[in-house]
Structure 1
Amino acid sequence: MGDGSITPRLGSMRALLGIVAGAGASYGIYKLISGGSLKRNKKSPNSENSSVKSSQPSEAVLKPGSLLAKVSGLDVVCPRPVDVASGDITHQSPGNLEPQHLKMLLSCLQTNPSDRCQILLTLGNAAAFTVNQNLIREFEGIHIIAGFLSDPAAEVRVQTLNALNNLCMNIPNQEQIKVYVPQVLELIEMSPVNSDLQLGALRLLTNLSVTDKHQHLLKDSVTLLLSLLVVSSEALQVQALKVLVNLSSNPDMIDDIVQAQVRINGHQG
């Protein structure tokens, strides 16, 4: 983010806090922003893993606080004996996957629709390791995975976002992932409020906006992010704030944040 003095950083944070305070009065414009597409989902979000978690009694979840749990937020299958020839790669420990396994998973992802959720989950967990992040990129896996952002099944889109989120921690990978920002923003706008889809998309944007290299891609999304502070749950508000805080650390983005708030207030009736 740069090593600039703390004074401009504090000034940026004060500006953002003032904007966030004003966002509370912005509910009336919310329908204009979203076109009615962001509908409140009164149901509690389902677990991101409910449709893909294995039921094998011999599997165990890694303890909270482990590297994979911190990075991906996904339950990870512990090692157990595996017959690779049987295609049972998805039950291996992500840290034990070899290059040929990743190639097979990417191939199966394109040819075996019935298992795409489990495959995406395994690839996402594997992408918590730098070596796998590089290998997946070298195998053209980022574009293969991102192709499922438009999958009809919501749970598949969630696992796709989770995998891209982990892959996005790799700077070279961000160069490929950035082209999907418009699609990710559309998912936020069109998905039910407080859904796992919105949360996964915001997590991806948080990682992508950690440095100022790609923050300009989110200039037109500031109004949407401010709107989420009004209508969403606390978890979603926190994630939206993380993106806004990242953007506010960039002096070139402050005017866009302020102007977005002015536009919201200017449309209030």
Structure 2
Amino acid sequence: MGDGSVTARLGNVKALLGIVAGAGAFYGIYKLVSAESFKRNKKSANSESPSVRSSQRCEVTLKPGSLLAKVSGLDVACPRPVDAASGDIVHQSPGNLEPQHLKFLLSRVQTANNQSERFEILLTLGNAAAFTVNQNLIRELDGIRIIAAFLFDPAAEVRVQTLNALNNLCMNIENQEQIKVYVPQVLELIEMSPVNSDLQLGALRLLTNLSVTDKHQHLFKESITLLLSLLVVSNEALQVQALKVLVNVSSNPDMMDDIVQAQAPASVLLLFDARTAHAVLLRLLTFAGNLKAWRPSAQVADQLRQKQDCLFRVMLDESSQLHSRLVQLLSHPDGEIQAQVARILT
């Protein structure tokens, strides 16, 4: 019985040693497989695109409770996803951009040496800024300052996209508080840019949004002459946009003193004509109606008559030809035009 007990114990020891040896063998195999898998993953991580790397999965999976899992106690190495390149983000739908995407784009555009990359990033940011949530996020990420820095980028197309992005951001009242400081630069862009260019149109659209309420209209006191000059040299699109700004600021009685003193080209009266485009003429009449509603004192009127070529003398003084041109427009074929003229004359 003693010999049997010893034999049994020896058998148990051998069995235990067999299990340990087997586990050791499995562990050795696991280490070998893990090492090879890690090498393959590391190699592929250096050669594949970010989108591929971000979706890659481990090749070795440890099932809970398996021998390999119990013996090794090690995690399987997997390549970590990396940040998506700006080229991947700019092709996403603007509504799908998340805060980290906007943060990445704002950071990237500041270091982009390539003109086309700056253009694409600003285009994407501008499209994203059409959404209210992104308007707030971009402001909170200091994006308005970052974007506005490209107002004088060497490339005209980059400047256009900068204006478009600021224009969309300007739809947010809180953003206007930051954007208003760039009004002098935007006005300078209008003066420096070719007539009828996309730059002028983009700048005027931005100014239109900023001038909707009377809160920022005082910023346009020095720009009235520029806007009036655009009316006589620009195409219909720019005329309409310039008139939108003029109509906005002239609706504010506090702005009228500055408006009527501004120098104005006498040829602006030639636009009060039946051949003028409907969209232009309608807004021009609205602007004239705002001016006519202003009633200066006799003393102020006398002072204004002393100013050569000021808007008061061109459009409001008794010597102005505006009245006779308005009378002719009473026979305009469009009923809306006729109604506007009648309101001004009465």
Q: Shared topology, TM-score over 0.5?
A: yes
- Residue equivalent to 1:193: 195
For 1:10, the equivalent position in structure 2 comes to: none
TM superposition shift of 1:85: 2.4
1:113 offset after TM fit, Å? 2.7
Q: Percent identity?
A: 82
> CA 1:180–1:266 in structure 2 vs 1: closer, same or farther (change >3 Å)?
closer
Alpha-carbon deviation of 1:111?
Answer: 1.4
The Cα shift of 1:166 comes to: 0.3
Q: How high is the TM-score relative to the length of structure 1?
A: 0.66
Deviation at 1:264, TM superposition (A): 6.5
Matches within 5 A, 1:147-162: 147-162=149-164
> 2 CA distance for matches of 1:112 and 1:179?
25
> Alpha-carbon deviation of 1:266?
5.4
Partner of residue 104, structure 1: 104
Q: How many residues align?
A: 186
Query: How big is each residue's C-alpha offset from its partner over 1:149-171, in whole Å with a ceiling of 9 and x where there is no partner?
Result: 01111001000000000000101
Query: 1:112-261 to 2 correspondence within 5 Å?
Result: 112-114=112-114, 115-260=117-262, 261=264
Question: Does the CA-based 8 Å contact 2:170-2:210 persist in structure 1?
Answer: yes
Per chain length, whose mean CA-contact separation is higher, i.e. which structure has more relative contact order (CA < 8 Å, sep 6+)? Answer: 1
Distance 1:147 1:137 in 2: 14
> What does residue 95 of structure 1 align with?
95
Cα deviation, 1:7-58, whole Å, max 9, x if unaligned, reads xxxxxxxxxxxxxxxxxxxxxxxxxxxxxxxxxxxxxxxxxxxxxxxxxxxx
Whole-angstrom CA distance in 2 between matches of 1:86 and 1:205: 34
Unpaired segments ≥5 residues, structure 2: 1-81, 265-303, 314-346
In the alignment, the residues of structure 1 paired with residue 217 and residue 245 of structure 2 have an alpha-carbon distance, to the nearest angstrom, of 9
Work out the CA distance in 2 between the residues paired with 1:150 and 1:264: 35
Q: Structure 2 vs 1, CA of residues 264 and 217 (structure 1 numbering), >3 Å: closer, same or farther?
A: farther
Cα shift at 1:248: 1.1
What is the CA–CA distance in structure 2 between the aligned matches of 1:234 and 1:109, rounded to whole Å?
Answer: 34
Correspondence for 2:4:
none
Q: CA 1:139 to 1:239, structure 2 compared with 1: closer, same or farther past 3 Å?
A: same
Q: Which residue of 2 aligns with 1:42?
A: none
Q: Which whole-Å deviations, capped at 9, do the CAs of 1:143-188 have from their partners, x for residues lacking one?
A: 0000000111100100000000000010110111011000000000
Tell me how large the CA RMSD over aligned residues is.
1.8
SS at match of 1:173: helix
* Cα distance in structure 2, aligned partners of 1:162 and 1:86: 23
Change (3 A) 1:253 1:85: same
Hey, what does 1:265 align to over in structure 2?
Answer: 309
Letter in 2 for 1:237: Q
Q: Residue deviations 1:45-86, cap 9 Å, x none?
A: xxxxxxxxxxxxxxxxxxxxxxxxxxxxxxxxxxxxxx9724
Which sections of structure 1, spanning at least 5 residues, go unmatched? 1-82
Distance in 1, matches of 2:172 and 2:198, equals 23
Q: TM-score, normalised by structure 2?
A: 0.52
Asked if structure 2 preserves the Cα contact closer than 8 Å seen for 1:229 and 1:240, the reply is: yes
Shift of 1:219: 0.5
After superposing the two structures, state which structure 1 stretch, 86-95 or 174-183, moved more. 86-95
- SS for the counterpart of 1:150 is coil
Provide the C-alpha distance between the structure 1 equivalents of 2:211 and 2:201, rounded to a whole number of angstroms: 15
CA contact (8 A) 1:223 1:264 kept: no
The answer to whether the Cα contact below 8 Å between 2:260 and 2:310 also exists between their aligned partners in 1 is: no
